[in-house]
Amino acid sequence: MATDLEKKYRPHVIIASIVVPILVAALFGIKLEGFDTSFLPPIYASINGLTAVLLVLAVISIKKGNKERHRMLIRMAMLCSLLFLAGYVTYHITSDTTYYGDLNHNGILEDSEAELVRGSILVYYIILMSHILLSIAVIPMVLITYLKGWAGNLKSHRKWAKFTFPIWLYVAVTGVAVYLMIAPYYG
């Protein structure tokens, strides 16, 4: 049963869950010239890695009964996710697209380059696509799970967290994996 606090903030969760992916998609249509943000990918990949660590520590904390530490770690993981998103969007609206396998950085995957990544390109795109799709799906899941915990609806919070945690962790870890795979092809 939803609490009054959940009912009050549910519209905000719905709006954020719709607006954030649409805004990110819209921002990809913008290209700002004259900014060197080439330093950002390792930073936002590291933030994704930190998010994964924080999530694992948060689960360990709650299993040990340390609710206050759990809350702090989850808030930090949420902040890291927001920082990741800000860095990711900033980089992508100021930089050309990087193509997996494009060693000469000309924006075209030539036959000779494609041959070199033939064995890994499918793996890269499967990881990338699952990362992107689940990163969209996890937004409402994180917000709903957090809201339920904040509102004191702990039974429902636990049920949601059992699904939210592995997906959020997957998104954080695959963010690092995608970076490590694409990093050799940055111009």
CATH of the domain at 114: 1.20.120.80
Of residues 151, 83, 46, the one with CA closest to residue 143: 151
Give pLDDT tens digits for 74-118: 999 999 999 999 999 999 999 998 999 999 999 899 999 999 999
What is the model's pTM?
Answer: 0.93
Q: Provide the pLDDT confidence category of residue 177 given band limits of 50, 70 and 90.
A: very high
Q: Which of 81, 38, 33 is nearest to 58 (CA)?
A: 81
Higher-confidence residue: 1 or 131? 131
The identity of residue 103, as a single letter, is L
Q: Which domain holds residue 165?
A: 37-98+107-185
3-class secondary structure per residue, 148-167: HHHCCCHHHHHHHHHHHHHH
Q: Is residue 56 part of a domain?
A: yes
The model's pLDDT over 28-76, given as tens digits with 9 standing for 90+, comes to 889 999 999 999 999 999 999 999 999 999 999 999 999 999 999 999 9
Q: Total domain count for the chain?
A: 1
Tokens read off for 151: 């509102």
- On the question of pLDDT at 1 being above 80, the answer is no
